[in-house]
Amino acid sequence: MPTIFSNRSPKYQFLLRLTIVFLIQLLIKAFDYSFGGVFPLTVRGATFTIVFTSYWLLCWYMAEFIQKKVATFKSPFEIITHLLFGFFVGVSSNIIYMLGDTYIFDNGHLWEDIRFYNPELVTGLTIFYILLYIVYRNVDKEITIKENQINLETIEKEMFKSQYMALKAQIEPHFLFNSLSVLSSLVHTDQKLASDFIIKLSKTLRYIIEQNKRVTVPLEEELKIVEDYFFLLKTRFGDSIQLNINLSDDLLQTTILPPASIQILIENAVKHNKFSIKKPLIIDVISDGNIIQVCNTYDKKELDENSTGMGLSNINKRYQLIANQNITIEKNKTIFIVSLPALSQINHENFNH
pLDDT in tens, 257-283: 988 899 889 988 998 999 999 999 999
- Shared domain for 54 and 144, answered yes or no, is yes
Domain residue limits at 317: 216-341
**CA separation for the pair 180, 185 (Å, rounded):** 9
- Do 152 and 29 lie in one domain? The reply is yes
In a domain, 174, yes or no: no
More confident residue, 178 or 151: 151
| Number of structural domains in the chain | 2
Last residue of a domain, one of 167, 201, 230: 167
End-to-end CA distance of the chain: 24
Judged against a pLDDT cut of 60, whether residue 173 lies above it is answered with no
Residue 62: strand, helix, or coil = helix
My answer on whether 55 and 118 are in the same domain is yes
Summary mean pLDDT of the chain = 82
Q: Are both 223 and 337 inside the same structural domain?
A: yes
d(CA 209, CA 167): 7
The continuous run of DSSP H or E covering 188 comes out as helix 173-189
Backbone phi, then psi, for 259, in 5-degree steps?
Answer: -55, 145
My answer on whether 22 and 93 are in the same domain is yes
Instruction: Tell whether 158 and 256 lie within a shared domain.
Output: no
pLDDT tens digits for range 276-310: 999 999 999 999 889 999 999 999 988 665 565 67
| pLDDT the model gives residue 282 | 97
Check residue 170 and give its pLDDT: 54
**Residue 273, domain CATH:** 3.30.565.10
Domain boundary among 132, 147, 167: 167
Same domain flag for 147 and 39: yes
pLDDT tens readout for residues 53-72: 898 888 888 888 888 787 76
> Are 33 and 149 within one domain?
yes
The answer to whether residue 58 sits within a structural domain is: yes
Last residue of a domain, one of 167, 186, 208: 167
For residue 246, give Cα distances in angstroms to 220, 223, 258, 318, 326: 12, 11, 19, 24, 22
Question: Do the domain assignments include residue 55?
Answer: yes
